[in-house]
Copies of this chain bind each other. A is one copy, B any other.
């Protein structure tokens, strides 16, 4: 095919994906949406020119954003996913039999509809009766809820300054997340790459914003090869459970990336990340 997709992260760095096909394209009220067939990672969802998830490497991301918080909570029954319109995170959460209800709040119903059609490997989760989809603004929704959820997962797009997700990384939002959690609740968000200059300040700032409300704040690291630098941070804020002290072993859940040993290991940060966290931001 004659097309490449260029992800321009900054003037300093961009990635060019060879693509075999452009399968679908739409301008939704919120973002530009593409389904493409990448040469390296197979079919992929692209929002606002950034690759969101691919069939071949989605499990790295979805398993680590779902199983780390779910195995940290002693008995997660009600789970809230903000974003997650491709369905991959819900699919992993559903592997935990103790979960009774997943509320999935996405602002853009077109993402869900298109993923149901073109990414059924992920969007299969929407057919499960435990999954309750709400098409609304995640920020407003979270603000309207109190003491309702055991686990909240923020599975949005990146905090680009002008994108729809920027408010999902604000102090106000983290305070609302705290309030919508039960007394032993916890949440997780993906918090940028700590390696690149345009991500490391984000990582540090998000950590401190979360830590301002949660008694226990811990960052963990995994790889998402289709994301910039590969090395991707997640930050967990918890009211009671400690992901290292309290996590449950359960080998009955089938995974391709996550293991119990990796659950412990992913919280071991390299020294430069420890030092990033130790520096308080100016704000």
- What string of 1s and 0s marks CB contacts (under 8 Å) between A78-112 and chain B? 00000000000000000000000000000000000
Copies of this protein, total: 2
A229: contacting residue among B223, B259, B269, CB under 8 A: B223
For A222-235 the 0/1 string (1 means CB < 8 A from B) is 01010001110000
Taking the complex as formed, is A11 at the interface, i.e. its CB lies under 8 A from any CB of chain B? Answer: yes
Chain B residues with Cβ below 8 Å from A231 are 223, 225, 230-231
**Which residues between 251 and 283 of chain A lie within 8 Å of chain B, taking CB atoms?**
255-259, 261-262, 264-266, 268-272, 274
- Count chain A residues whose beta carbon lies closer than 8 angstroms to a beta carbon of B: 42
The residue of chain B having its C-beta at the shortest distance from the C-beta of A9 within the complex is B40
CB distance from A37 to the nearest CB of B (A): 11
Q: Please give, as numbers and ranges, the residues of chain B lying within 8 Å of A266 by CB-CB distance.
A: 265
Query: Which residues of chain B are near A57, meaning CB under 8 Å?
Result: 195
Binds B, one of A14-22, A130-138, A172-180: A14-22
Min CB distance A274 to B, Å, is 8
Q: Shortest distance in angstroms between A16's beta carbon and chain B's nearest beta carbon?
A: 5
CB contact under 8 A between A268 and B265, given known A40-B197, A195-B230, A229-B230: yes
**With the chains together, A274 CA to B16 CA distance in Å?**
29
Most buried by B among A14, A17, A59, A223: A223
- Cβ < 8 Å to B, chain A residues 1-38: 6, 10-18, 38
A156: Cβ under 8 A from any B Cβ: no
User: B residues within 8 A CB of A255?
Assistant: 271
A48 lies within 8 A of chain B by Cβ: no
Q: Given the complex, which residues of B lie within 8 Å of A10, measured CB to CB?
A: 18, 39-40
Instruction: Determine if A71 is an interface residue (Cβ-Cβ < 8 Å).
Output: no
0/1 per residue, A178-207, Cβ < 8 Å to B? Answer: 000000000000000101110000000000
CA distance A84 to B91 in the complex (A): 45
A268-B262 contact, Cβ under 8 Å, with A196-B225, A229-B230: yes
**Quick one: which of A140-173 are within 8 Å of B by CB?**
none
Distance, CA A57 to CA B195, complexed state (A) = 8
Whether A225 pairs with B193 at a CB distance below 8 angstroms is yes
Cβ of A118 within 8 Å of any chain B Cβ, yes or no, is: no
Enumerate chain A interface residues (CB-CB to B < 8 A): 6, 10-18, 38-40, 57, 59-60, 193, 195-197, 221, 223, 225, 229-231, 255-259, 261-262, 264-266, 268-272, 274
7 closest Cβ pairs, A-B complex: A230-B230, A12-B39, A265-B268, A195-B225, A12-B40, A223-B231, A265-B265
